[in-house]
Amino acid sequence: MSFGKSAGEGVQLKGKKKVVSIVGARPQFIKCAQLWRLLREHFEEVLVHTGQHYDDAMSRVFFEELEIPEPAYNLEVGSGSHGFQTGEMLKRIEQVLIDESPALSIVYGDTNSTLAGALASSKMGIDVAHVEAGLRSYEKKMPEEINRCLTDHVSALLFCPTETAVQNLHKEGIWSGVHFTGDVMLETLGERIVEAEKRSEILSSLSLSKKGYFLLTVHRAENTDDPERVLKILNMAGKLGRPVVFPVHPRTRKVISGISFSASPQLRMIDPVSYLDMLVLEKNAAVVLTDSGGVQKEAYFFEVPVVTLRNRTEWVETLEGGWNTLCDVDEEEIVDTVRRGLPGTPRRPELFGVGSATGRIVKIIGEFLG
């Protein structure tokens, strides 16, 4: 897939102060979907896509469904090792920043695109705003943890989705520029779920009944880098007693292709799905099993119990009241947890604000830029 300009082609913008938004992966597209409209009312916003997620199912369909405009730049970095990918992004983002000379760079989440955008900007003396700052799993072997920690420490504006995230930053000595704004993904979800339920045919196409299936997602390196862990997850999925819908990330499919296993008829491995289809799958699942931070959070928004296939989570608040349970990759523990049902509180706490994060973020950026 290729759309947008290549690095080196300057975008001529006049008048308002210029900000660059840097995205590259599905969770960032979702966060950016709410912010770009309001940014463009007040600033000259230049959208940069690193190309970290690059095929149609992982990228273009999100731009189309979320009505995100075509990026001014597509850097087309693609896949590769962490070092290669981050290094290529640094080089190409730097050229964009040279061409555009923005007053501020906005980065999102915790991917290699986030870190590359933050480092390239800070080394050029351009202030950085980090949307979804302050998350911590305290698992330094996790690439995302390294990305988010380093990004936070070079950012001038840190927009925190929860009060816990604010406290995490304070513990690390970061006080200046820290703001509790709530979560921008909550706004996107609130706006799109009605449309998703009208348009999506994913339940009927898979012959699924509401609350009659489990949803599984696996893509984190801590799982996919170890074929034994992936095999345990596949075996576990066949023991849950209901259909398990498994949209398979390209990285995970590559690992599965090298594993010898007998797939249970209950395990339905499908290609990655669009954002709207994913919302419908999440909302109507009996339980969500995932290693994704974003999916944990979206299931929480929908009041759907989650089993997190990791030993730590950056969304520690969701563990309270039984809405989220850490099971790492222990087949027996996962099966027992799902079968007995997750308790959940009668009403889950409102941890992520009330859906007004975008307005707060743009107001703070405006005040910061004067």
C-alpha gyration radius of the chain: 20
Largest CA distance in the chain: 61
- Report whether 137 contacts 313 (CB < 8 A): yes
In one letter, which amino acid is 269?
M
Opening angle at CA 23, ends 17 and 29, nearest 5: 110
* Strand ordering across the sheet containing 324-326: 267-270, 244-247, 214-217, 287-290, 306-308, 324-326
Amino acid symbol at 344 = G
Look up tokens 């809405």; give the residue: 323
Q: Which DSSP string corresponds to 227-293?
A: HHHHHHHHHHHTTSSS-EEEEPPHHHHHHHTT------TTEEEE----HHHHHHHHHH-SEEEES-H
Q: Which of 53, 130, 219, 249 is catalytic?
A: 219
**C-alpha distances out from residue 322 to 27, 211, 240, 319, 341, Å:** 24, 18, 19, 6, 10
Answer for the pair 252, 348: CB distance below 8 angstroms, yes or no.
no
Q: Is 170 a catalytic residue?
A: no
| The 127-131 sheet, strands edge to edge | 73-74, 44-49, 18-23, 104-108, 127-131, 157-160, 178-180
Indicate which residues carry an active-site annotation. 219
